[in-house]
Structure 1
Amino acid sequence: MPAASLTPARPFSLASSIRFLEGFTPASYDQTADGVLRLAFPADDADSVIGCAVRQEEAADGKPGTVHLEFTVHAEGEATRPPLRSGVGEAVTAQIARIISLDVDGTGFPALADTDPVVAGLQADYPGLRPVCFYSPYEAAAWSVIGNRVRKTQAAAIKAGLARAHGRALDVAGRRLSAFPAPAVLRSLGHFPGLTQVKIERLHAIAEAALNGHLDAAALRAQPTEQALASLRELPGIGPFSAELILIRGAGHPDVFPLAEPRLHQAMATAYGLDAATAAAPGRLAHIADAWRPYRSWVAVLLRVRAQETVTLR
């Protein structure tokens, strides 16, 4: 089985990542509590499906432990996994690193706490937690379409049903997982319970965009933020909120402040003790968030996690 290792530029906790996924509705993550992160998903090449087990060594000398990956790569439509082609292992490793935000140098992240007590509190409450992303911009875009105008729990059930009915089933570290359908499969979808015809057509467009390379994570992150968001908003069913979700949590961009997410703005206002007028002014909040550079996405995720836990505890 192909394997690779990632050395986190601190901080990073795989255990925190797993806890995050357990509370992240779109992931429908419910697996054995053994410290292993099990993943099954379409590869960035839009032609393969990956199964991966992620483990982390215990921390030593205050440094995060090395993260170890064991994965298999299956060509879509093939009964068994073929031998790895040249460069495929590196591409798979890079995608997994992006999913758990280990493709970003986090060395400077702890220093934000020195000048911002809110960030200091978030880092203390969620040690080592980095954003856990959707597997790809493609999957994030598909989730945005599926979840439009329905409850998150209902959308998650539909998404999981699509994976079971049309995705590749893989054995990952002793568990059977179903990956979300690859773009070519989704593009041919004719009907599915819970999805309107409009959503089916929009999912076809998302799949086509992925196959044409228009949802490439590296390309989206390389563009100026507003340019990337504008290109995403050209996709049917993708508005400002969804475009930010795809860029931040699909492509894994580490430094974007969401302007179209009122719940985040309210969470930020609560954390900083801001008045209602400021909470309703994304531009003013964005100015405050400038102090989080180059980790604006990371701090925003921690604020959302705290806000969600507060709601859950009530």
Structure 2
Amino acid sequence: MTAVALTPSGPFSLAASMRFLEGFTPANYQGTADWVLRLAFPADDGHSTVAVAVRQEETAEGAAGPVRAEFTTYPDESGGSGEADGSGSGSGEVGRSDGPGSGEAVRAQLARVLSLDVDGSGFPELAAADPVVAGLMADYPGLRPVCFHSPYEAAAWAIIGHRIRMTQAAAIKARLAERHGRRVQVEGRTLYAFPTPPALLAITRAPGLTKVKIERLHALAEAADAGELDAARLRSMPVDDALAALRDLPGIGPFSAELILIRGAGHPDVFPRHEPRLHAAMAAAYDLGETASGDIRRLAGIADRWRPYRSWVALLLRARAARLSGPTP
């Protein structure tokens, strides 16, 4: 088992992240009273699985402090199936320092998932110039976007969930993890990671998935294996170019492309232009009237005040909308 530390720059609350995950349908997350975040997911290398337990310390003054994680990586030797012991005594390769599954690589991936790879020290300053943002920060202190484990997993969710209810999609995704992903133990709890790309390629049928969706998932797995869904690569590209590249994937439209870039790659500064529920929430929050939710140019102009954290403020608006009217993707 390898231990790493993540020091937040700016406000961050792991407890707020966990509360958000409990209401985020794709995560299918069940929290615990000990406030330890337990996760299992395919590593960015595409050929190993990570089991991790995350805690946040308190400072002497009782404020939220550094984030510490203990993790184990397991190579995908059996095509994504099998069981591993999250205590570090399994057959996996633990804490290597010379490859994509190394401690530094996993640390970087976990930081991205929790949005701790972004300097958030300037985020509170937005509140001074925008009362709506100030209210959102007061309602959700320390909450940053909690991302999918990777662009690959975000894209898989988009394909699985196309034209079905989110609860149905979550059940299908969970079944795929249980039947084709790796089972791990993380501090007394059994978790199932989503299948790695090679494991996903091996699936020929699955309850709830049409032939077309399986074909699209196979194309996605091949794209991930080719490096086309690398988070750093997507975030380094101009936003329009990254979105266009994502839309080239079978089954990925404008809404899904934004989801993958923002919530998969963890881009902190993108205003979603294809999310009607967010636009309705903005129109209500800024008292613009119902028809304003369709004026994307006007809304994008308001969102320009949120730079360089447009994705973050959009997440807080979604969280409020979910609380008031039910969960959103």
Contact 1:259 1:282 in 2 (8 A): yes
1:137 aligns with one of 148, 151, 155: 151
Q: In structure 1, list runs of 5 or more residues that go unmatched.
A: none
Matches of 1:277 and 1:41 in 2, distance apart?
A: 41
Give secondary structure in 2 for the equivalent of 1:66: strand
Q: Could you say which residue in structure 2 is the equivalent of 1:69? A: 69
Counterpart code for 1:309: R
Q: CA deviation at 1:267?
A: 0.3
Q: Could you say which residue in structure 2 is the equivalent of 1:81? A: 92
Contact 2:111 2:117 in 1 (8 A): yes
Matches of 1:31 and 1:270 in 2, distance apart?
A: 31
Q: Could you say which residue in structure 1 is the equivalent of 2:32? A: 32
Matches of 1:232 and 1:241 in 2, distance apart?
A: 11
Q: CA deviation at 1:59?
A: 4.2
Contact 2:269 2:308 in 1 (8 A): yes
Aligned residues: 313
Asked if 1:260 is matched to 2:271, the reply is: no
Give CA deviations for 1:176-219 in whole Å, capped at 9, x if unaligned. Answer: 10000000110111000000000000000110010000000000
Matches of 2:105 and 2:122 in 1, distance apart?
A: 26
TM-score, with length taken from structure 2: 0.93
2:260 aligns with one of 231, 237, 246: 246
Q: Could you say which residue in structure 2 is the equivalent of 1:11? A: 11
Instruction: List structure 1 runs of 4+ shifted beyond 6 angstroms.
Output: none
Matches of 1:196 and 1:187 in 2, distance apart?
A: 15
Contact 2:18 2:31 in 1 (8 A): no
The percentage of aligned residue pairs carrying the same residue is: 65
Give CA deviations for 1:80-117 in whole Å, capped at 9, x if unaligned. Answer: 11243324100000000000000000000000000100
Q: In structure 2, list runs of 5 or more residues that go unmatched.
A: 79-89
Q: Could you say which residue in structure 2 is the equivalent of 1:224? A: 238
Give secondary structure in 2 for the equivalent of 1:39: strand
Q: Could you say which residue in structure 2 is the equivalent of 1:162? A: 176
Matches of 1:278 and 1:203 in 2, distance apart?
A: 37
Give secondary structure in 2 for the equivalent of 1:15: helix
1:282 aligns with one of 276, 279, 296: 296
Q: 1:59 to 1:121 in 2, by over 3 A?
A: farther
Matches of 1:274 and 1:59 in 2, distance apart?
A: 42
Matches of 1:302 and 1:63 in 2, distance apart?
A: 22
Matches of 1:56 and 1:164 in 2, distance apart?
A: 29
Q: CA RMSD in A?
A: 1.3
TM-score, with length taken from structure 1: 0.97
Q: Could you say which residue in structure 2 is the equivalent of 1:198? A: 212
Q: 1:239 to 1:129 in 2, by over 3 A?
A: same
Give secondary structure in 1 for the equivalent of 2:304: helix
